[in-house]
């Protein structure tokens, strides 16, 4: 009876030892899996960081390149009073040239530039003409450092006496050592300055050091 009781009790520990081995192996597999997951998660972070920096740099460079592109600063309109097509700025205000200007230099500064505001563009901008505005547009540097637009070599100005788009009140005014004329485009340029001259004669002589408008 006693020997029969001890015989079945001996095999019981054996299964416990056998189950302990799979648990240890399972734990090892789990550790290896966690290490692989950690390595895998670090790889995408590195590639994601480098990819985003490259993408951010490309648009910035493209924007900087096109930021200094050409800008339409003038176009043409038909003016019955002048008798042909004249050059106007983007707001429709008549553009003038000054006979006292020399190539690459503006003779209108100080109070003159207040009465005759120069047409300017930001530094680095290439001025261009709109539809119908043939000729060559360029810029010169004024004494204050601003960039004034020129048309076929003539610096361009608007006139403070023009209160509306298309007005030509500055035609043939003599002041500041020269004569102001509307910039015309195309044919019939010669008659344009003769017809308005009679109309503007009182404005030319009325002011003494100022402008009669």
pLDDT in tens, 109-151: 999 999 999 999 999 999 999 988 989 999 999 999 999 999 9
Higher pLDDT: 83 or 60? It is 83
- Say how many residues make up the chain: 213
pLDDT category at 15 given cuts 50, 70, 90 is low
* pLDDT of residue 24 exceeding 60: no
126-129 and 70-79: which strand pairing? parallel
Total-model pTM: 0.59
Distance between CA atoms of residues 166 and 75, nearest Å:
12
7-21, 28-42, 79-93: which range is least confident on average? 28-42
Across 190-211, average pLDDT: 41
DSSP letters for 38-63: HHHHHHHHHHHHHHHHHHHHHHHHHH
Tokens of 66: 């096109």
- Answer whether 127's CB lies under 8 Å from 149's CB: yes
CA distances from 50 to 47, 53, 55 (A): 5, 5, 9
């Amino acid at each position: 009876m006693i020997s029969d009781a001890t015989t079945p009790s001996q095999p019981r520990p054996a299964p416990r030892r056998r189950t302990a081995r799979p648990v240890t192996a399972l734990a090892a597999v789990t550790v290896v899996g966690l290490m692989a997951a950690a390595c895998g998660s670090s790889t995408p972070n590195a590639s994601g960081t480098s990819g985003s920096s490259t993408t951010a740099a490309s648009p910035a460079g493209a924007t900087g390149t096109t930021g200094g592109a050409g800008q339409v600063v003038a176009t043409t309109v038909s003016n019955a009073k002048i008798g042909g097509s004249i050059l106007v700025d983007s707001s429709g205000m008549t553009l003038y040239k000054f006979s006292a200007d020399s190539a690459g230099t503006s003779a209108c500064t100080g109070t003159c530039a207040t009465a005759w505001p120069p047409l300017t563009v930001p530094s680095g901008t290439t001025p261009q003409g709109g539809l119908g505005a043939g000729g060559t547009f360029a810029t010169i540097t004024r004494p204050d450092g601003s960039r004034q637009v020129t048309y076929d070599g003539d610096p361009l100005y608007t006139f403070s006496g023009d209160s509306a788009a298309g007005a030509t009140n500055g035609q043939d005014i003599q002041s500041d050592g020269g004569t102001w004329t509307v910039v015309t485009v195309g044919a019939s340029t010669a008659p344009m300055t003769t017809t308005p001259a009679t109309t503007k004669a009182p404005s030319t002589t009325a002011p003494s050091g100022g402008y009669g408008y």
